[in-house]
Amino acid sequence: MRDKVLILNQDFSAIAICTVHKAFLLVYLQKAEMVSKANGAVLRTVSASFPIPSVIRLQRYVKVPYYGIALSRHNVLRRDNFLCQYCGTNKNLTLDHLLPRSRGGETNWLNLVTACSRCNSRKGDRTPEEAGLKLLRKPSKPSLLTFLQLHLNTNNEDWSLYLNVKNK
Ligand SMILES: [Zn+2]
């Protein structure tokens, strides 16, 4: 059974992911309606059966504050698809400060990239330009939507419809 449900705002923009349990509760309390069912799966009780939601939509529009994704080692790796941003390997990953910390480089989304230990030591105390290293792509600050989209790589085809409509 799939255990994650996509929550849409009243305007159909994706805002969060929750458990099936929470989704049921929202629908039961009439705070949300079911938009898409998890293909044919049902939850059976003694007297009835309920289709399992895959996407639900809130009945009332909620203002979603910008939820900054926490800056952590894991989230930087996630943003970079668990690939060294210099050579593309997925082995021995570390975090690299583009502008080295020793030279005043800050620890933030734009100055941190995933790098394998080999590229990291090759780069040493230099910027990528100085070390002749090219980035696969420029680091960015991920939005909630970026991370929701990562879930698409799993198996939530019916979510794609909603994750592509809006680009916040
Ligand atoms: Zn590398």
pLDDT of residue 128: 97
Average of per-residue pLDDT values in the chain? 86
Q: How far is the CA of 121 from the centre of ligand 1 (A)?
A: 10
112 CB-contact burial (10 Å; exposed 0-12 / middle 13-18 / buried 19+): buried
- 90 and 77 in contact (C-beta within 8 Å)? no
Regarding beta strands 93-97 and 4-8, do their DSSP bridges make them parallel or antiparallel, or are they unpaired? unpaired
User: For the ranges 6-20, 48-62, 139-153, which has the lowest average pLDDT?
Assistant: 139-153
Q: How far is the CA of 95 from the centre of ligand 1 (A)?
A: 11
Q: Domains plus CATH for the chain? A: 4-65+144-163 (no CATH), 73-131 (1.10.30.50)
Q: Coil, strand, or helix at residue 112?
A: strand
DSSP assignment of 34-58 equals: EEEEEEEEEEE-SS-EEEEEEEEEE
Q: How far is the CA of 32 from the centre of ligand 1 (A)?
A: 46
Residue 42 has pLDDT above 60, yes or no: yes
The pair of three-digit structure tokens given for residue 98, joined into one six-digit string: 């583009």
Higher pLDDT, 118 or 157: 118
User: pLDDT digits over 107-150, tens only?
Assistant: 999 999 999 999 999 999 999 999 999 999 999 988 777 777 66
User: For the ranges 35-39, 82-86, 108-112, which has the lowest average pLDDT?
Assistant: 35-39
Dist CA 40 CA 53 (whole Å):
10
- If you search the block for the tokens 């975090």, which residue do you land on? 95
Q: How far is the CA of 117 from the centre of ligand 1 (A)?
A: 7
What percent of the chain lies above the pLDDT cut of 70? 86
Q: How far is the CA of 84 from the centre of ligand 1 (A)?
A: 5
Mean pLDDT of 70-98: 95
Residue 168 has pLDDT above 90, yes or no: no
Q: How far is the CA of 83 from the centre of ligand 1 (A)?
A: 8
- If you search the block for the tokens 């390997």, which residue do you land on? 89
DSSP 2: -
Q: How far is the CA of 132 from the centre of ligand 1 (A)?
A: 13
The phi, psi pair for 165, rounded to 5°, reads -65, -40
Q: How far is the CA of 82 from the centre of ligand 1 (A)?
A: 11
Higher pLDDT, 13 or 150: 13
Q: How far is the CA of 92 from the centre of ligand 1 (A)?
A: 9
What's CA 147's distance to the chain center, in Å?
Answer: 1
DSSP bridge pairs for 58? 32
pLDDT of residue 69: 78
- 30 and 58 in contact (C-beta within 8 Å)? no
